[in-house]
């Protein structure tokens, strides 16, 4: 009987998609041990958006979150997602920064890496794979899915084979915009499996068109080894398929699923309660939108576009901007609509519409993209557009990281000393004003969690529940009894 493993996205991508990444560590702690007992293969915990939100909005130390959750989730590997040479930011960083980041997340409790490149340029992933393997991490290399005339099955197969050759433990077909359809699954999954030999194949897709659950079931029948899912209250919509749904139907197909349904129900009930208490939305099915296949914007980016248009009085022009995004993407050689390139294409399209003249202003990041400073383009840029973007400048052909001098020693000399590698990395990825605001919020008590106080957090959480009348805690000779 074939076995299907599950990678849980509840603590990372699900709330990033539905709650603007606003799930706090305090919300995670009470249910963490149950998640650890549920039978997941990996629990995805953090990445760039999580770090950004912790620093800029929550006043939480993201490194502390990793340590807290490692104390509570010990049997199941915790995973961190990186953007290869971009690490968790949008710019390209030097090799020494990439390597230090991998080693530092490993030291803070991470046991698995999921890595992707916005251009599927596997040269940008080689260093992360190598250092991750040196640190003993389970490394999943991603092939990011998109639709265009050049992104054929043969293209994705070639990229999967390259990741296998680089030493990835598994290869994932990552569909951040929910573009997969069952018909494409039937051709692409068998082709990738054949090219990868015995290396596990992973599927990750979002539900923006409502087809991801169907695609998962098709892929399971075709022998995909792992799937990314989210617990039902945080599934669907811009999020991923529901764990319970996929597990139930996989079992009906005769597939071995080793998830604990009782634990899953407990997790679902818990997060339903959190959503109700905190005023957060629950996942829901979305209407099928064929236009989505043209602009291919990831779910979370639509809300940002709406707010940006509203700020300048253009809120009624979203359909026009989406049409322009599809046009710009085609002219630029079909970049994949995933961070950071989805944001760059979106901003360029927005400027084209607002200024009334296309490419009157060119975003600097679009110029760098055209010159190869993010990696190898999938297809040539339309010649007339390329002239407007780069003029007489010549594109590079080497791996972008090779052009960047080592950064660590220079930053230590200019901005140090730093008390730890964790502090050093925060100073690399965030501006001084951002970090000063973050440290002030922590000093004011906005973030009181500590890896040394999970019991205190549990008691605090229980105290919020009027239905709990009696608490009994024992560890060794220590006993705590509290009755209301």
| Residues 357, 353: Cα–Cα separation, whole Å | 7
pLDDT at 452: 46
Burial status of residue 190 (CB atoms within 10 A of its CB: 0-12, 13-18, 19 or more): middle
Residue 186 has, within 13 A of its CA and on its CB side, a CA count of 4
Three-class SS of residue 475? strand
Question: 243 near 8, Cβ under 8 Å?
Answer: yes
**Element housing 479 (H / E):** strand 478-483
CA separation, residue 299 to residues 54, 240, 305, 366 (Å): 21, 11, 11, 22
**Element housing 175 (H / E):** strand 170-175
| Residues 132, 104: Cα–Cα separation, whole Å | 11
Question: 156 near 173, Cβ under 8 Å?
Answer: yes
User: What is the chain's length?
Assistant: 484
Q: How many other β-carbons are positioned within 10 Å of the β-carbon of residue 151?
A: 19
| Residues 220, 166: Cα–Cα separation, whole Å | 26
- Phi and psi at residue 214, to the nearest 5°: -65, -40
**Element housing 208 (H / E):** none
| Residues 445, 443: Cα–Cα separation, whole Å | 5
Burial 36-72 (b: 16+ CB within 10 A, else e): bbbbbbbbbbbbbbbbbbbbeebbbbbbbbbbbbbeb
What DSSP assignment string belongs to 79-132? EEEE-GGGTTSSS---HHHHHHHHHHHHHTT--EEEE--TT--GGGTHHHHHHH
Strands 478-483 and 470-475: antiparallel
- Per-residue pLDDT 10s for the chain (484 aa) are 799 999 999 999 999 999 989 999 999 999 999 999 999 999 999 999 999 999 999 999 999 999 999 999 999 999 999 999 999 888 899 999 999 999 999 999 999 999 999 999 999 999 999 999 999 999 999 999 999 999 999 999 999 999 999 999 999 999 999 999 999 999 999 999 999 999 999 999 999 999 999 999 999 999 999 999 999 999 999 999 999 999 999 999 999 999 999 999 999 999 999 999 999 999 998 888 888 898 898 766 776 677 778 877 877 888 899 999 999 999 999 999 988 888 899 999 989 998 999 999 999 999 999 999 999 999 999 999 999 999 999 999 999 999 999 999 999 999 989 999 999 999 999 999 999 999 998 855 444 554 445 555 556 555 655 666 566 566 565 556 555 5
Question: 307 near 315, Cβ under 8 Å?
Answer: no
What DSSP assignment string belongs to 253-299? TT-B----HHHHHHHHHHHHHHHHHHTPPPP------TTHHHH---H
What DSSP assignment string belongs to 377-407? -SSPPPHHHHHHHHTT-----S-GGGGS---
Q: How many other β-carbons are positioned within 10 Å of the β-carbon of residue 297?
A: 24
pLDDT at 317: 86
Query: Is the whole model's pTM more than 0.95, yes or no?
Result: no
**CA-based nearest residue to 35, from 1, 85, 70, 4:** 70
Three-class SS of residue 133? helix
- Phi and psi at residue 160, to the nearest 5°: -65, -40
Question: 402 near 71, Cβ under 8 Å?
Answer: no
CA separation, residue 102 to residues 105, 123, 316 (Å): 5, 17, 43
Three-class SS of residue 220? helix
pLDDT at 445: 43
């Amino acid at each position: 009987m074939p076995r299907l493993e599950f990678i849980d996205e509840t603590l990372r991508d699900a709330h990033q998609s539905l709650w603007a990444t606003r799930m706090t560590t305090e919300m995670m702690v009470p249910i963490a041990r149950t998640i650890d007992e549920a039978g997941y293969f990996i629990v995805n915990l953090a990445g760039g958006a999580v770090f950004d939100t912790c620093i800029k909005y929550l006043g939480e130390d993201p490194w502390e979150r990793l340590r807290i959750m490692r104390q509570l989730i010990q049997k199941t590997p915790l995973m961190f997602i990186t953007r290869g040479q971009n690490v968790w930011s949008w710019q390209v960083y030097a090799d020494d920064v990439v390597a230090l980041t991998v080693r530092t997340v490993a030291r803070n409790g991470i046991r698995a890496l999921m890595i992707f490149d916005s251009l599927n340029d596997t040269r940008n992933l080689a260093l992360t794979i190598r250092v991750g393997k040196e640190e003993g991490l389970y490394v999943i290399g991603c092939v990011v899915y998109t639709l265009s005339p050049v992104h054929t099955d043969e293209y994705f197969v070639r990229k999967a084979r390259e990741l296998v050759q680089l030493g990835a433990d598994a290869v994932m077909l990552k569909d951040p915009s929910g573009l997969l359809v069952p018909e494409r699954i039937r051709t692409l999954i068998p082709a990738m499996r054949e090219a990868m030999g015995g290396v596990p194949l992973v599927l990750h897709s979002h539900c923006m068109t409502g087809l991801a659950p169907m695609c998962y079931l098709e892929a399971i029948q075709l022998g995909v080894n792992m799937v990314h899912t989210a617990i039902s209250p945080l599934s669907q919509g811009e999020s991923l398929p529901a764990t319970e749904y996929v597990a139930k139907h996989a079992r009906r197909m005769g597939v071995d699923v080793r998830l604990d349904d009782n634990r899953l129900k407990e997790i679902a009930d818990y997060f339903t309660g959190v959503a109700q208490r905190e005023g957060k939305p629950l996942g829901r099915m979305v209407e099928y939108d064929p236009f989505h296949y043209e602009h291919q914007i990831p779910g979370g980016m639509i809300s940002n576009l709406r707010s940006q248009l509203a700020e300048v009085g253009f809120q009624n022009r979203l359909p026009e901007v989406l049409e322009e995004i599809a046009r710009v993407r085609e002219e630029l050689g079909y970049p994949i609509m995933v961070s950071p390139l989805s944001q760059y294409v979106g901003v360029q399209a927005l400027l084209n519409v607002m200024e009334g003249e296309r490419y009157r202003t060119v975003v600097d990041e679009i110029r760098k993209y055209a010159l190869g400073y993010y990696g190898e383009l999938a297809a040539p840029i339309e010649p007339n557009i390329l002239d407007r973007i780069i003029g007489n400048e010549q594109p590079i052909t080497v791996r972008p990281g090779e052009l960047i001098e080592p950064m660590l020693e220079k930053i230590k000399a200019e901005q140090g000393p730093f008390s730890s590698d964790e502090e050093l990395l925060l100073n690399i990825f965030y501006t001084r004003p951002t970090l000063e605001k973050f440290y002030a919020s922590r000093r004011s008590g906005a973030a009181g969690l500590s890896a040394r106080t999970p019991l205190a957090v549990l008691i605090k959480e229980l105290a919020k529940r009027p239905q709990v009348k009696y608490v009994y805690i024992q560890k060794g000779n220590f006993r705590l009894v509290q009755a209301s």
